[in-house]
Amino acid sequence: MVIRNTMKTPNLGKKVRVGDLLVSEGLVTQNQIEAALSNQDKRKKKRIGNLLIEKGLITEDQLLLALSAKFQMRLVDLKDITPSQTALNALSSDLVGQLKVIPLEADGKHIVVATSDPTDHTIADTLQFNTNCNIELVSATSNQISAAIEKYYSHAEDSMDLLIDGMVEDEIEVEEEVDDSSIKETDSQVIKFVNGILLDAYHKGASDIHLEPKSGKGPIRVRYRIEGECHIEHQIPATFKRAILSRVKIMSNLDIAERRKPQSGKILLRVDKKKIEYRVEITPTVGDQEDAVLRILSSSRPLSLKEMKFSEPNLERFKNIIAKPYGMILCVGPTGSGKTTSLHSALSHINKPNRKIWTAEDPVEITQDGLRQVQVNPKIKYSFQEALRSFLRADPDVIMIGEMRDAETAKTAIEASLTGHLVFSTLHTNSAPESVVRLVEMGMNPFNFADAMLGILAQRLVRMLCNYCKKPLLADKDAHEKLVQIYGREYFVNDGLEKYSDEFYLMNRVGCPKCAQSGYRGRLALHELLDGTEAIKVAIKQNTPLERLRDIAIEDGMRTLKMDGIQKILNGLIDLDQVNKVVL
């Protein structure tokens, strides 16, 4: 069946007042709209269409039909349509889940995607950004879309469970010491199982796979790290452990006879034209066992700045900073705080054919067309410093150095940014102002650094409340007061944050199947953006102490990680537990 419509969707004015539209369609009266809006629960900020559906004044079908007509979008019945495999491959399950859309047809250049929200024009933008394809949106009811997502995107789990159930061990009597000599790493079910784990973890968005054999008859526990936390995903009968470990070693070109010393290797898989790399670390553990930990490196796409969930003022300030022709921009935070993601997002914003952009990374996890990316390799003494020197001889406009690990690299990077290049890098420091102090302690000339510094972005990753189950609950004065105190009363008022009233709601986590009952789904970053303003530059040159430097920065518009966290709590994206976890 051909769904594509060759007629281009006309570009209608972006502001369509859904209420007006429904009135003009004769579905509701103006009075009903006003009544619905006036009773609206302020914290939930539901849209008028959904409010009317909840009140039973219209059905979703009616709303969708009216909106589809208005946006000249075709309304499709998903019961009649089977999405093509190419279309399903074109969108990741993360993206589909996040946007609540389902792809129907694709041919490499165009994708037809069904949405239940024709008014949300960011959907097409996000899809286009992530796929580089033209997007044609059609509309379908939200129930049908959810059902289709469930049907077409959750198969990885089912097949893993089937595979484990199918791992028969009936002919093997488990005696005191587990006898696994009868199961070889070449057994087809072992091969299938290991492949299955590699793909299953990747599809679930895990960053690491942990294979942990217990001693004796204990099973192998398989844990995935997803969104920063480990979860037990599978338990495999003990009889398979030696075979599974051997299989992992074979795939990573390691010595299967060596069982007393750690070994590291890697596995490359190609799935749907996508390369996935697994960095494998085998570690001998007590009880004559070996653990394997596999870090998943997929060549993923960068996020757009918009997807980074910056606060509005931070987004504006960050865009201004990276629009400068030369100088230094740092992204700081501990390991796993998403620094590389932010730098790539910044680079993607300025990645144009008229600029030469070099990057040195370890490892290269995100790839972008247009960038020239280098994987540094300390084993052969190809260090960040080495790469940076080479870039400077290779006609750069923009240079990204994955990390400034030593004083020499930092010094060269600062010099490069003072001689007409835009330099991006990262540091392992806790806060933006602390990075200034650290660099000076590392022996940087404060005058040079002050001149070079455009901005420093500190960040932390926190888990977002699950969009499927989070719930607004009335919060009391104490809860509000706590947020005010963390933020600082004066700034809380000046920044116009929500005052306490008897209708003060905070989003709470609940737990549902979509979030494995955790109440959290997906992650976002808290940001602290220090601008290289005149006052800051002067303060750096005068070796101003950390506390004072931070105060000046806040006066100049910086909001600390904590403050950004409070804003995101008030916006219903995260909860206080998450903020407390990452900032003191």
Q: Which of 279, 514, 523, 541 binds Zn ion (CB under 5 A)?
A: 514
Exposure string for 149-172, b = 16+ CB within 10 A, e = fewer: beebbeeeeeebeebbeebeeeeb
Q: Which of 515, 530, 566, 582 binds Zn ion (CB under 5 A)?
A: 515
Rounded CA gap, 396 and 530, in Å?
26
463/568 with CB nearer Zn ion: 463
Q: Which residue of this chain has its Cβ atom nearest to Zn ion in the complex?
A: 466
- Using rule CB under 5 A, residue 328 touches Zn ion: no
Min separation Cβ 284 and Zn ion, Å: 39
Would you give the binding string for Zn ion spanning residues 409-448, x where CB under 5 A is met? ----------------------------------------
Rounded CA gap, 282 and 268, in Å?
16
221 CB contacts (<8 Å, ≥6 apart)? 210, 212, 213, 214, 232, 234, 235
Rounded CA gap, 159 and 136, in Å?
32
**Contacts to Zn ion from residues 87-146, by CB under 5 A:** none
First to last CA, the chain: 57
- Using rule CB under 5 A, residue 573 touches Zn ion: no
406/577 with CB nearer Zn ion: 577
Min separation Cβ 522 and Zn ion, Å: 11
- Using rule CB under 5 A, residue 466 touches Zn ion: yes
Whether residue 363 has a cis bond before it, omega within 30° of 0: yes
- Using rule CB under 5 A, residue 389 touches Zn ion: no
Length of the chain: 584
Min separation Cβ 515 and Zn ion, Å: 3
Min separation Cβ 469 and Zn ion, Å: 3
Say which residue the tokens 């286009």 belong to: 128
248/515 with CB nearer Zn ion: 515
Q: Which of 71, 129, 153, 468 binds Zn ion (CB under 5 A)?
A: 468
401 CB contacts (<8 Å, ≥6 apart)? 359, 360, 384, 387, 388, 409, 413, 423, 424, 425
Which helix (H) or strand (E) segment is 271 a member of? Answer: strand 263-271
Compute CA distances 101 → 88, 298, 419, whole Å: 11, 23, 47
Q: Which of 243, 328, 454, 469 binds Zn ion (CB under 5 A)?
A: 469
How many binding residues for Zn ion (CB under 5 A)? Answer: 6
The rounded Cα 60 to chain-centroid distance in angstroms is 31
58 CB contacts (<8 Å, ≥6 apart)? 22, 27, 28, 49, 52
Min separation Cβ 578 and Zn ion, Å: 15
Stretch that binds Zn ion, among 49-57, 400-408, 461-469, 473-481 (CB under 5 A): 461-469
Q: Which of 163, 512, 535, 554 binds Zn ion (CB under 5 A)?
A: 512
Min separation Cβ 556 and Zn ion, Å: 39
70/514 with CB nearer Zn ion: 514
Asked whether 507 and 471 are in contact (CB, 8 A), the reply is yes
Stretch that binds Zn ion, among 137-145, 331-339, 468-476, 552-560 (CB under 5 A): 468-476
Min separation Cβ 338 and Zn ion, Å: 22
431/518 with CB nearer Zn ion: 518
Using CB under 5 A as the criterion, which residues of the chain lie in contact with Zn ion when the complex forms? 466, 468-469, 512, 514-515
